[in-house]
Chain A
Amino acid sequence: MRAVGLSKQVATGDAQLTILDDVSFDIAQGEAVAVLGASGSGKSTLLGLLAGLDTPTAGSVSIAGKDLFGLDEDGRAALRSQLVGFVFQSFQLLPALTAVENVMLPLELAGEPGAQNQARAMLERVGLAARVAHYPKQLSGGEQQRVAIARAFVRAPRLLFADEPTGNLDSATGEQIIDLMFELNREQRATLVLVTHDEAISRRCGRALRLTAGRLTNGA
């Protein structure tokens, strides 16, 4: 994955606010990279751009040689469907769906057969075999994040984005979640991009990109 000259500005009233300023870096296949920075330094915006969830003011991102912003929104969605998994700070499970249905969703959207069995196996893998038919609101925070992780890994993505995955969890549960993520990441040999402000977590990654006020100050 390669980012070149990424910038993001937003208009606030009559002023232009620069969130990301000319950020460039490469990430190799199978690497685990932490994105570090204070609150408001542009970490989550960078992640959103890398995943094609948002569009930059300037610059480009290419994944596996494909220019992300040369594609339209549906093209990016198709690319995500093929290559990318997500874990969010606030889990982002769909409340209308049970745990297993949430995990099935990416498989079904891609039209893969045997979604239910794959999803069950994945939930078993993250230790939630007994909770498959529960709705998100019936699960604890840690359990919800496990469902989210199962959903992220169920299609064996080559790229996994995690946005402060422990931000809403207590430290003991957070540690278990991080362990699980790194374990799955090793098993599937995926590339991991992890946004955090926790130095301890960032030390477990091979490399750290540090953002300060929208500029990359370390790790490129």
Chain B
Amino acid sequence: MSALQQLMVALRLLWRDWRAGEVTLLAAAIVIAVGSLTTVSFFTDRVQLALTQQSNQLLGADLSIVSDRPFAAEFAATAQTQGLAVTRALRFPSMASAGGESLLTDIKAVAPGYPLRGEVRLADALFGAERIAREIPAPGTAWVDDRLLTRLNLKPGDTVAVGRARLRIAALVTQEPDSVIGFINSAPRVLMNEADIGSTGLLQAGSRVRYRLYVAGETPAVDAYRAWAQTRIGPGQTIEGIRDARPEIRSALERAERFLGLAALVSVILSAVAIALAARRFLRRHLDGCAVMRCLGARQAIVVRLYLLHFIALGAVAGVVGCLIGYAAQFALAAWLGSFLAVALPWPGLMPAYYGVAAGVLLLLGFALPPLMSLGQVSTLRVLRRDLGLPRGVGAIGYLLGLAVICALVLWKAQDLRLGAYVLGGFLAAAGVSVALILLLLRLLARVRAGGGVSFRYGVANLRRHALANTIQVVALALGMMALLTLTLIRGDLLHSWQATLRPDTPNRFVVSIQPEQVAPLNAFFARHGIAQPAVYPMVRGRLISINGRAVSSNDYSEDRARRLIDREFNLSWAARPQPDNRVTAGRWWEDDGAARPDQLSVEDGIATTLGLKLGDRLTYDVAGSTFDATITSLRKVEWDTFRANFFVITPPALLKDFPVSYMTSLFVPPGQAATLNQLVGEFPNLVVIDVAQIMAQVQKMMDQVASAVQFVFLFTLAAGLLVLYAAIASTRDEREYEAAVMRTLGASRRQIAATQLAEFALMGALAGLLAAAGASALGYTLALKVLNVPYTANHWIWLIGIGAGGAGIALAGMLGARRVLAAPPLQSLRRVA
């Protein structure tokens, strides 16, 4: 036979098998595996493409330097002498108000030439026609986004107050480079001219201003400038190029890709189990055919090659179908997660499809090759003696290939050897523990068996006979159920316990940027409006520059949080006594207000761990160019989720009182009194009022969207779990039918047989439910204590629901799958199966 002839024969074999329903299960398993993988990779591919195709548009330049203080003149001057275009912008949060209403906004003040790359798009009315901006906003005017217009009830042409300045709204911004709405900052945008900053009076001590320098030009010149700037930047200054393309989006994307990818892998692993089960059944049902083919003169190699081609074709076809499903499903992910990005997502490329089909074929071969190889070894004698059974020599070793494919997929998705190893190890450990647990439970059940009715006894006997296969089934189902229990019950519980930790009078507004001379008038304002006088805390912005005389750099730390803490300025505060919700856990708080020895620090224990600080360490801080040293004399535990103002680092009053200071406070404003806050901003335009409830609502919405996306990916897991159940029922259906027929000849009623099967399926489902409830509770416990820091309240319903729904659901699904067993006349079954 030529290769082409072999292929044609293989395709004919495949077609016949498809028609006879022999490969439906294999195909479905591959479709689910590839579908779940490609759903995630199509989506992440779109974001990835958006980042590379639009990176300088996103940056607004070819290179940009961010700084928490104004740039030295040499930065712009050097760029200009090198023939590069330069411009700058500064960005800070501030209140904007109009018509007695005020709103926290994100102000961006730009200089002529902005943006150097990409474009700002404007409209003259909400939903109006878009045009490209040719200039920056003229002095005295501002461009704002739709959210500001709708929330302050404004239209273009109206006036908005920013600080002490009043700006006319000249246009509506619909798109701008250099903004990533959603991830961190969701405040409405005000784009204004840099020249107006002075008149706002907003640049004072304590304002959180980010300065940005934009550079664009020929690549060599930009590279040369980058090399030069690298030697000039100090702490708190970072360079972003096209290649770094928005590191914050990239790292968020990587995290999403990993997490969703690993979630998708759970379905892949379950599908692999279904494939392994289905392939075994396929083998058993094709032994006779192969024996006959061998008798008719086909060499062993030909038989193997024909079925190899058959399987590759099956994997490819099912893989393509899976890709199509993944392509359709990624729209759902994009709808939930894409809204965090201000970038229009391009169509996905074909790469995920190639990978998806390849993964499908590999999975199929990995788990189907071992039984396939044994098809070639089938004894020709089988045509004479049916009882010769399965060829030997496949065993567990045969599945190493499949295991290797899974490991490779996990490592590829985790993109990190350690994470991949953790996931694999965790999965194997969980599976091992579950298997051991179920085997133990089955053994215990066998003891009970003598006591139960006859149906129960045979149900248990059936479970025990295929102990390992049934155990795999139970674990697969438990995984799917655990994912669902966690995402529904546990998620709700955690949210509840967290919300329950908040008292009703929990502060719901933060007021920052209070200048020293405003503290007394502000207190008077509160007294006038009947608001309880809140505690006002001093705040000094400083940067940690050395620990025990050794200069620190973010490069010294591998953890993201630590690097950020080193790169940014801290809010330092002073206090004579610790706040009531702070508890000193090590060392001692200063006596006599620390007047005797002012160079002391009290550090929050979490940040101390992150930065590797301990009692007795001497830290040096840089505050607006001058430095001070102090020693850590106590560590504190802080209840962050009380929403009271709290600080990582506190000093005695004497140490900081001569540095530039601003004040902040947190207060509870009853819902009816929100208008008072508008008056507050009217009287003190430089204050920034942060609405905690609004931020919480945003966080909640974001969490809901992420949860929806994750739940969506886990739908594949559930489908895969059900597929495993179906595959397992199918793989034992012949035996069940046979046993039922024998029992019927012995006089068993249909009810007795149904009860036997019901007992078997319900037990299996209940075991899976028990396992799922245990797993979900453990996960919830870990999340509560380690991640969310809320007390864990055990939910007893989860056990009842897990076991009850698991038992009933699987019993129902199993009985539906096993219907035929009860319907067929016994003689027919005996003849068909024997």
State the A residues within 8 Å of B (CB): 48, 51, 53-55, 73-74, 77-82, 84, 86, 88, 90, 92-97, 101, 105-106, 108-111, 151
Closest residue of chain B to A115 (Cβ to Cβ) is B454
Q: Give the 8 A-B CB pairs with smallest separation, nearest first.
A: A81-B747, A53-B827, A96-B465, A48-B827, A80-B747, A54-B827, A108-B454, A106-B746
- What residues on A are CB-neighbors of B828 within 8 Å? 54
Min CB distance A75 to B, Å, is: 9
The CA-CA distance from A79 to B746 in the complex, in Å, is: 10
Decide yes or no whether B830 CB sits under 8 A from chain A. Answer: yes
**Residue of A whose beta carbon sits closest to that of B746:** A106
Q: In the assembled complex, which residues on chain B have CB atoms less than 8 Å from the CB atom of A151?
A: 746
- Say if the beta carbon of B587 comes within 8 Å of chain A: no
Identify the interface centre among A82, A90, A109, A111: most chain B CB within 10 Å of its CB: A109
Specify the chain A residue showing the minimal Cβ separation from B826: A53
A106 adjacent to B465 (CB under 8 Å) = no
Chain B positions within 8 Å of A, measured between CB atoms, are: 454, 457-458, 461-462, 464-465, 735, 738-739, 742-752, 825-828, 830, 834
Q: Contacting B749 at CB < 8 Å: which of A78, A86, A95?
A: A78
Cross-chain contact A77 with B825 (CB below 8 angstroms): no
Q: How far is the CB of A6 from chain B (nearest CB, A)?
A: 14
**A54 B747 Cβ-Cβ under 8 A:** no
Closest to A84 in B: B747
CB distance from A168 to the nearest CB of B (A): 9
Q: In the complex, which of the residues B745, B750, B834 has the most CB atoms of chain A within 10 Å of its own CB atom?
A: B745
The answer for the CA separation of A55 and B828 in the assembled complex, in Å, is 11
Name the residue on A nearest B747 (C-beta).
A81
Chain A to chain B contacts (Cβ below 8 Å), 17 pairs: A51-B745, A73-B750, A78-B747, A78-B749, A79-B747, A80-B747, A81-B748, A86-B745, A92-B834, A95-B465, A96-B458, A96-B461, A96-B465, A108-B454, A108-B457, A109-B746, A109-B747
Bound complex: CA A84 to CA B745 (Å): 9
Beyond contacts A53-B825, A86-B745, A97-B461: 13 other A-B pairs, Cβ-Cβ < 8 A, are A48-B827, A51-B745, A53-B744, A54-B825, A73-B825, A81-B748, A86-B746, A92-B745, A93-B742, A94-B739, A96-B458, A96-B739, A110-B747
What is the bound-complex CA distance between A151 and B746, given in angstroms?
A: 9
B454 near A109: Cβ-Cβ < 8 Å: yes
| Beta-carbon nearest neighbor of A97 in chain B | B461
Contact A82 B747 (CB under 8 A): yes
Give Cα distance in the complex from A65 to B151, angstroms.
Answer: 91
Chain A residues, Cβ within 8 Å of B465: 95-96
User: Across the interface, which residues of B come within 8 angstroms of A80, CB to CB?
Assistant: 744-747
Is there contact, CB below 8 Å, between B748 and A77? yes
Shortest B170–chain A CB gap in Å is: 83
Question: Would you call B746 and A81 a contact (CB within 8 A)?
Answer: yes
> Of B454, B462, B738, B750, which is within 8 A of A77 by CB?
B750
Residues of A contacting B827 with CB < 8 Å?
48, 53-54
- From the candidates A51, A78, A84, A94, name the one contacting B742 in the complex (CB within 8 A): A94
Least Cβ distance of B265 to chain A in Å?
A: 35
Q: Chain A contacts of B825 at CB under 8 A?
A: 53-55, 73
Q: Is the CB of B834 within 8 A of A74?
A: no
Asked if A92 contacts B749 (CB within 8 A), the reply is no
Closest to B744 in A: A77
In the complex, the answer to whether A92 meets B826 with C-beta atoms within 8 Å is: no
- Closest-by-CB residue of B relative to A54 is B827
Interchain nearest-CB distance for A80 vs B (Å): 4
B822 to A, closest residue via Cβ: A73
Chain A residues with CB under 8 Å of B454's CB are 108-109, 111
CB-defined contacts of A51 to chain B, threshold 8 Å:
745
- Interface hub of B457, B464, B746, B827 (most chain A Cβ within 10 A): B746
Known A54-B825, A109-B454: A96·B462 in contact at CB below 8 Å: yes
Complex alpha-carbon distance, A214 and B678, angstroms: 101
Residue of B462, B748, B750, B828 with most partner-chain A CB within 10 A? B748
A190 to B744, CA, bound (A): 21
Q: Which residues of B contact A54 (CB under 8 A)?
A: 825-828
A95 to B750, CA, bound (A): 20
Say how far A79's CB is from chain B's closest CB, in angstroms. 8
CA distance A77 to B735 in the complex (A): 20
Shortest CB–CB separation between residue B705 and chain A, in angstroms? 50
Distance, CA A93 to CA B742, complexed state (A):
8
Q: How far does the alpha carbon of A109 sit from the alpha carbon of B742 in the complex, in Å? A: 12
Residues A109 and B748 in contact, CB atoms below 8 Å apart: yes
Would you give the shortest CB distance from A8 to chain B, in whole angstroms? 11
Complex CA gap A101/B462 in Å reads 13
Q: Which of A92, A93, A96, A105 contacts B830 (CB 8 A)?
A: A92
- For the complex formed, measure the closest distance between the CB of A94 and the CB atoms of chain B, giving whole angstroms: 5
Interchain nearest-CB distance for A69 vs B (Å) = 12
Docked Cα-Cα span, A92 to B740, in Å, equals 11
Task: Give Cα distance in the complex from A124 to B318, angstroms.
Answer: 57
Whole-angstrom distance between the alpha carbons of A124 and B461 in the complex?
24
Chain B residues with CB under 8 Å of A55's CB are: 825
Given contacts A53-B826, A54-B827, A77-B750, contact A105 B461 (CB under 8 A): no
* A77 CB contacts on chain B under 8 angstroms: 744, 747-750
Closest to A81 in B: B747
A110 to B834, CA, bound (A): 26
**B834 — nearest CB in chain A belongs to which residue?**
A90
Closest residue on chain A to residue B465 by CB atoms: A96
- Closest CB-CB distance, B745 to chain A, in whole Å? 5
Report the bound CA distance from A151 to B747 in whole Å.
12
Beta-carbon contact of A53 and B746 below 8 Å: no
